[in-house]
């Protein structure tokens, strides 16, 4: 059984209001306009998308934070697909999220933080001060060998802190980050596999993913 954990991308959707532009999804050549190309015997829709890499549910590569680190093209599939997953339940308030896991539970796992913040999407409340990972939590995730970190809110960092310690620590250790997850309420605490594969974009720092979980049975 599969559980979709990503937001759909729609024309005009917000990315980060006031900071990044809205996404635009439309046609380079629509069905009707394409008919002349095929002498009226066929028609095709050729779409185009203009959006920031940080749109909807997306993956951050180390290059997002560290200029000399790996970009999206450097990830192996094993780093993003079929990872054993574990869920951490946390408060949806604007506060530092602590881990609450034994370090031996973390190694090699996709650690997903579930707060229910995704229930505010796509309203204005979603973009207000949301939870974030504490510097201590980020350091423990690195030391314990997390394979990936995902959150159901907008940013692993406290956006009032320009140092961005969570991005700095996690991406510095090569740990991919997935932000804007949704639907984590459907997951058990553990015993599932997590997938969040992005295109191999050379020079890519962040890109939307179709994140999902595979549940046993």
CA nearest to 193, candidates 217, 177, 216: 216
Q: 98: how many CB neighbours lie within 10 A of its CB?
A: 14
Residue 16: what pLDDT?
87
64-90 pLDDT, tens digit per residue, is 999 999 999 999 999 999 999 999 999
Q: Which domains does the chain have, with CATH numbers?
A: 2-11+52-214 (3.50.30.50)
In this structure, the number of other CB atoms found within 10 A of the CB of residue 128 comes to 11
Element (H, E) at 172: helix 165-172
Q: Which residue has the higher pLDDT, 100 or 117?
A: 117
pTM of model > 0.85: yes
Percent of the chain clearing pLDDT 90 (strictly above):
86
Q: Please determine, for residue 102, whether its predicted confidence score (pLDDT) is greater than 80.
A: no
Average pLDDT over the chain reads: 95
pLDDT band (50, 70, 90) for residue 104: confident
Amino acid 94: pLDDT: 80
Q: What is the DSSP secondary structure assignment for residue 93, as one 8-state letter?
A: S
Distances (CA, A) of 28 to 13, 41, 47, 48, 65: 19, 20, 5, 6, 33
> What pLDDT sits at residue 45?
97
In the predicted model, is pLDDT for residue 44 greater than 90? yes
Confidence of residue 199 (pLDDT cuts 50, 70, 90): very high
pLDDT of residue 99: 83
Residue-wise pLDDT for 113-148, tens only, equals 999 999 999 888 999 889 999 999 999 999 999 999
Percent of the chain with pLDDT over 70: 100
pLDDT at 18: 86
């Amino acid at each position: 059984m599969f559980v979709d954990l990503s937001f759909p991308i729609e024309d005009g959707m917000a990315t980060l209001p006031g900071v990044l532009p809205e996404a635009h999804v439309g046609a380079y050549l629509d069905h009707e306009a394409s008919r002349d190309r095929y002498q009226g015997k066929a028609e095709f829709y050729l779409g185009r998308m203009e959006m920031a890499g940080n749109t909807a549910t997306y993956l951050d590569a180390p290059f997002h934070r560290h200029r000399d680190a790996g970009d999206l093209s450097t990830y192996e599939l094993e780093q993003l697909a079929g990872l054993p997953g574990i869920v951490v339940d946390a408060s949806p308030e604007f506060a530092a999220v602590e881990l609450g896991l034994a370090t031996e539970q973390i190694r090699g796992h996709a650690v997903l933080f579930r707060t229910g913040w995704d229930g505010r999407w796509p309203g204005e409340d979603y973009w207000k001060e949301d939870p974030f990972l504490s510097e201590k939590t980020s350091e423990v995730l690195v030391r314990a060998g997390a394979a990936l970190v995902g959150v159901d809110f907008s940013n692993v960092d406290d956006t009032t802190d320009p140092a961005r310690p969570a991005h700095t620590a996690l991406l510095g250790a090569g740990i991919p980050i997935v932000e804007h997850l949704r639907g984590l309420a459907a997951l058990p605490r553990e015993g599932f596999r997590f997938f969040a594969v992005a295109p191999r974009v050379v020079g890519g720092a962040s890109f939307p993913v179709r994140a999902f979980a595979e549940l046993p049975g």
